């Protein structure tokens, strides 16, 4: 495996490939399993992720890397093969979520700062030994009546920059993820408001990255799309694509090799359509792809339903979604291709 940060970052956003975010914490995966009435045990979590990582077609053709949770990085498949080895055997790169979640920020009602910097250097050393070559840290910015405040944006951007510098010192590519929520409360904000907040957030993040001496060539940005809130949603695919491209062009230096979006609560097809519209007919300085959690997994988890006899159906659903997003990463997705499944 290649070891230069720049090469790993470029491989993570290779043409037609994107990242599978399978790094749900124990609490989040329980919520996903609740939707299919499945108990969240270590074995069930392993079986589910093993099903995804053994989906050869999707993994080899469409997935450049997989973000894992600590438990999964250490787990083995039912036959004893390490899950990390299944991922690398498919030609994808293992990554690891290293933040410890968004916690209330004192003095800033309703706002959070992401924790996890203490001891991070040592954790990154171990994660590298276990096979991780990139990491993820998510800062969360919610849009409300009088939020976000600049104080909270700055605290999150500073933590992201500290994290990114520590990753690079340990030969791990940082995914820098400042998420402006679409599905927070009240979720009634406009596309314009999301553009204004996302612009301020990204400007602040890149200021902090520069101050922390982070090498832009060796990182990946994972932003939200510029989109109206979940309880306001009526912006067209074209409007979302145009606003997102405009915002990224104004704020993201061209030295960054790639931008991999989160899906943030969009439906599977919306997330795909938006990505494809951004890639079709735009001349962009960075590769634009996906790093979806829900929008890559929702159909697979439903088709699987926690049952052994449905593993092939779950894999077919994952393959289809991965293929649609792979096409979108090239600007080649069309709605009628969805029916082919």
Choose between 125 and 269: whose C-beta lies nearer to ligand 13P: 269
Is 222 considered catalytic here?
A: yes
323 belongs to the binding site for ligand 13P (CB under 6 A): no
The end-to-end CA distance of the chain, in Å, is: 34
| Residues from 84 through 143 that contact ligand 13P (CB under 6 A) | 138
Would the CA dihedral through 9, 57, 30, 328 be positive or negative? positive
| Residues from 3 through 42 that contact ligand 13P (CB under 6 A) | 21
Choose between 134 and 292: whose C-beta lies nearer to ligand 13P: 292
Which residue is closest to ligand 13P by CB? 293
- Separation in Å, CA 241 to CA 11, 198, 238, 246, 274: 24, 14, 5, 9, 6
> Quick one: which segment of 74-82, 141-149, 197-205, 262-270 binds ligand 13P (CB under 6 A)?
262-270
Choose between 81 and 172: whose C-beta lies nearer to ligand 13P: 172
Q: How many other CB atoms are there within 10 angstroms of residue 114's CB atom? A: 23
Tell me the closest approach of the beta carbon of residue 106 to ligand 13P, in angstroms: 24
293 belongs to the binding site for ligand 13P (CB under 6 A): yes
Is 24 considered catalytic here?
A: no
Long-range CB contacts (within 8 A, 24+) of 184-190: 184/142, 184/143, 184/144, 184/229, 185/142, 185/144, 186/144, 186/229, 186/231, 187/229, 187/230, 187/231, 187/232, 188/229, 188/231, 188/232, 189/143, 189/228, 189/229, 189/232, 190/228, 190/229, 190/232
H/E run at residue 288:
strand 287-292
> Quick one: which segment of 125-133, 278-286, 292-300, 317-325 binds ligand 13P (CB under 6 A)?
292-300
What are the helix (H) ranges across 4-116?
A: 5-12, 26-34, 42-53, 56-61, 70-74, 83-89
> Quick one: which segment of 6-14, 228-236, 261-269, 280-288 binds ligand 13P (CB under 6 A)?
261-269
Choose between 184 and 264: whose C-beta lies nearer to ligand 13P: 264
Which among 24, 50, 111, 177 is annotated as catalytic?
Answer: 177
> Quick one: which segment of 7-15, 160-168, 188-196, 290-298 binds ligand 13P (CB under 6 A)?
290-298
Tell me the closest approach of the beta carbon of residue 123 to ligand 13P, in angstroms: 18
201 belongs to the binding site for ligand 13P (CB under 6 A): no
45 belongs to the binding site for ligand 13P (CB under 6 A): no
One-character DSSP codes across 243-275? HHHHHHHHHS-TTS-EEEE--TT--HHHHHHHH
Choose between 123 and 138: whose C-beta lies nearer to ligand 13P: 138
Among 219, 262, 273, 303, binds ligand 13P (CB under 6 A): 262
In a 3-state reduction of DSSP, which class is residue 9? Answer: helix
Tell me the closest approach of the beta carbon of residue 21 to ligand 13P, in angstroms: 3
Closest Cα partner for 298 from 274, 333, 263? 263
List of residues contacting ligand 13P (CB under 6 A)? 21, 138, 177, 262-264, 292-295
Catalytic residue numbers, as ranges: 177, 222
């Amino acid at each position: 495996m290649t070891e230069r940060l720049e090469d790993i970052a470029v491989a993570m956003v290779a043409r037609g490939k994107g990242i599978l975010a399978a790094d749900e914490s124990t609490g989040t995966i329980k919520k996903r399993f609740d939707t299919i009435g499945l108990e969240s045990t270590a074995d069930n979590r392993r079986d589910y992720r093993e099903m995804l990582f053994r989906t050869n077609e999707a993994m080899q053709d469409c997935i450049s890397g997989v973000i894992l949770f600590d438990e999964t990085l250490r787990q083995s498949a039912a036959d004893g093969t390490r899950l990390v080895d299944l991922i690398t055997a498919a030609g994808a790169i293992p990554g690891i979520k290293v933040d410890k979640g968004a916690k209330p920020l004192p003095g800033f009602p309703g706002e959070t700062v992401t924790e996890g910097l203490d001891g991070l250097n040592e954790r990154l050393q171990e994660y590298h030994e276990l096979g991780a070559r990139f990491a993820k840290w998510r800062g969360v910015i919610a849009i409300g009546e009088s939020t976000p405040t600049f104080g909270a944006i700055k605290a999150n951007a500073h933590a992201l920059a500290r994290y990114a510098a520590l990753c690079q010192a340990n030969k791990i590519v940082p995914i820098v993820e400042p998420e402006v929520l679409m599905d927070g409360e009240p979720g009634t904000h406009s596309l314009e408001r999301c553009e204004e907040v996302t612009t301020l957030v990204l400007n602040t993040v890149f200021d902090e990255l520069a101050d922390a001496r982070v090498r832009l060539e060796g990182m990946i940005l994972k932003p939200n799309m510029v989109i109206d809130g979940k309880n306001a949603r009526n912006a067209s695919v074209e409007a979302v694509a145009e606003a997102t491209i405009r915002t990224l062009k104004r704020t993201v230096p061209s030295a960054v090799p790639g931008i991999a979006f989160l899906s943030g609560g969009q439906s599977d097809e919306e997330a795909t359509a938006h990505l494809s519209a951004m890639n079709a007919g735009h001349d962009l300085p960075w590769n634009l792809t996906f790093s979806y959690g829900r929008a890559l997994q929702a159909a697979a988890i439903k088709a699987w339903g926690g049952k052994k006899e449905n593993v092939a159906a779950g894999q077919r659903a994952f393959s289809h979604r991965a293929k649609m997003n792979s096409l979108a990463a090239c600007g080649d997705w069309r709605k009628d291709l969805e029916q082919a499944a």
